[in-house]
Structure 1
Amino acid sequence: MDKAPMNEDVFDRTEYRKTNRQLRLVKRELSQDAVAALAREAVRRLAFKMPRAVKKEDLPSPADIDELCAALLSKSDDAADNFILAARRDGVEVDAIYLGYVAGAARRLGEMWDDDAISFIDVTLACGKLYRVIRGLRHVIAPSILAERDEWPAMFALVPGETHTLGIEIATEIFRREGWDVDMMVGLDHDMLVDQSDRRNYRAIVLVANSDDRLEALARLVLAIRISHPLANLVVAGNILDHHPDILGLVGADATIKDIKTAVSTLRHLIEDP
């Protein structure tokens, strides 16, 4: 992979700011247990990105990881951003940034949390900063993550815990009659659903939730899929929209499908006019 310094223009400032607003909203609107679950999800998904094809000499040293964690845990809101961007400008490969620095910092944060070396507040703030950075770098890291996946128009998935399948079945049938080749996922738990979504490079992923008590599960699912699908358009559908008018900002999705009549045009617009 090209080791040329990264131009500042490739950093997605819009997505960065959107993610920052989402994290503030999450801490205000969701329970402490829900926020902790999101932090653990971020740590687990980011830490799982283990180095594979990265050259050993390009990986960060323990001292580098310590410095990044210190930046993440500091009171400075942009210290970690500056650290990552400086590393990339210095020529550190994208794979090393993501699989080395980000994953390494996530693992270290997880260990510190388990050892009670840092508090719940510390780790949620640090994980938020780390997640915000990778969202800003989504266009840079996407080729490495999505390599060798075949491109697919869309996946429709029922949020774990939901039992009402009729709506998603009707929507899937309508799209297929319109000529869309879409995958439908129902009855899967969180990890199974994320694993299934990892099999293809979906242009759009529609997450269907009806019950108000599925909000936390939806937020956790969106975060996990964001990490494995940096460029996918994430869409929320179902009766949960009636309960949360601010759901896009809260869970970090891109759009909503409010009814069957506008579903096809909404998704086509997202896919064809990113």
Structure 2
Amino acid sequence: MSRSATFDRHMLETAFSEIDVVQRSLPQATLNTLAVEVVSRVANNLRFEVQPDLAPCPDEIDMLCNALLSDDPRAAATFIEQAQLKGSSYETLCLLYLSVAARRLGEWWDNDEVTFYRVTVAAGRIYAILRILRRERPIGVPNLLRAATFASVPGENHTLGITIASDLARERGWDIELFVGLTHDALVEKLEHRQPALIGLSASGKRSLPALTRLIVALRISNPGASILVCGQIAAQNLSLVGVTGADAAADDFDSAIAHMDRLLNIPTNRLI
């Protein structure tokens, strides 16, 4: 991500539009769950030491929190953009600005200084900004390892499809690690530890949409460098999965999934199989 360039305006509007679609598409109980997921995971996402002079002061964090809670949906994005222009890296913006702000918002909520509704609004904006920052990161070199992690969405009882897809992908030369039957937290923990470049998620239908969306929200925070592909019967339904869930691609058949996997890992199409 260039430190001298401002956010792409189209990308900014797209991210906020997609968050708006999520807020209009899912029931309030699910939105509340997603808000808690964003705030708690972002707040606890401090994993490395940075130079003290890169850290924002407490007043700046308060300003960012107030921007996240304001009537202007783009105020916080503008704040982060200004920090970016001053030289803050992707890691600094995510871990020292947004993580600390999420923690502060959680404290304000615990102390009844802000309502949960406002925290929900702020959480949606944090998630939108994270998606903007992720999309602006430079495209890496082609991944020639052809490795991916497949997983069934927590709560799924039908895992035969993804098991067969894993075997078929292995026959085509892919190194596939498969997880089925795990709880939400257990799956996120395993994927966070492994940091795969490509994650394929399988869901059987619309009833899995809340769990799928919650999982992708968590993975966008714990695995920011991963590409996410949604597969299974849910991909055949008219749910706008790339926009609503935040997935990078969706495929309702095996050949389409393999084509997306090649594209997402930037694998040359003229390779030998």
Q: Distance in 2 between matches of 1:94 and 1:246?
A: 28
Unmatched tracts of structure 1, length 5 or more: 144-150
Given the superposition, is the C-alpha separation of residues 140 and 255 from structure 1 closer, same or farther in structure 2, using an over 3 Å criterion? Answer: closer
Partner of 2:263: 269
Partner of 2:220: 226
Q: Distance in 1 between matches of 2:89 and 2:172?
A: 42
Matches within 5 A, 1:62-77: 62-77=58-73
1:7 paired residue among 4, 8, 21: 4
Q: Distance in 2 between matches of 1:225 and 1:213?
A: 20
1:61 matches 2:57 = yes
Given the superposition, is the C-alpha separation of residues 177 and 199 from structure 1 closer, same or farther in structure 2, using an over 3 Å criterion? Answer: same
Partner of 1:179: 173
Partner of 1:83: 79
Q: Distance in 2 between matches of 1:14 and 1:202?
A: 29
Given the superposition, is the C-alpha separation of residues 207 and 61 from structure 1 closer, same or farther in structure 2, using an over 3 Å criterion? Answer: same
How high is the TM-score relative to the length of structure 2? 0.87
Q: Report if the CA contact (8 A) 1:58-1:96 is conserved.
A: yes
Q: Distance in 2 between matches of 1:247 and 1:110?
A: 29
Q: Distance in 2 between matches of 1:92 and 1:155?
A: 32
Matches within 5 A, 1:12-161: 15-50=11-46, 52-138=48-134, 153-161=147-155
1:213 matches 2:207 = yes
How high is the TM-score relative to the length of structure 1? 0.86
Q: Report if the CA contact (8 A) 2:4-2:84 is conserved.
A: no
Q: Distance in 2 between matches of 1:195 and 1:16?
A: 30
Once the 2 structures are TM-superposed, how far is the Cα of residue 273 of structure 1 from its aligned partner?
6.1
Unmatched tracts of structure 2, length 5 or more: 140-144, 269-273
Q: Report if the CA contact (8 A) 2:196-2:226 is conserved.
A: yes
**What per-residue deviation string (whole Å, max 9, x for no partner) do you get for residues 15-39 of structure 1?**
5443322211111111111001111
SS in 2 for 1:206: strand
Aligned-residue Cα RMSD (Å) equals: 2.6
Q: Distance in 2 between matches of 1:171 and 1:22?
A: 29
Partner of 1:198: 192
Q: Report if the CA contact (8 A) 1:161-1:189 is conserved.
A: yes
Partner of 2:271: none
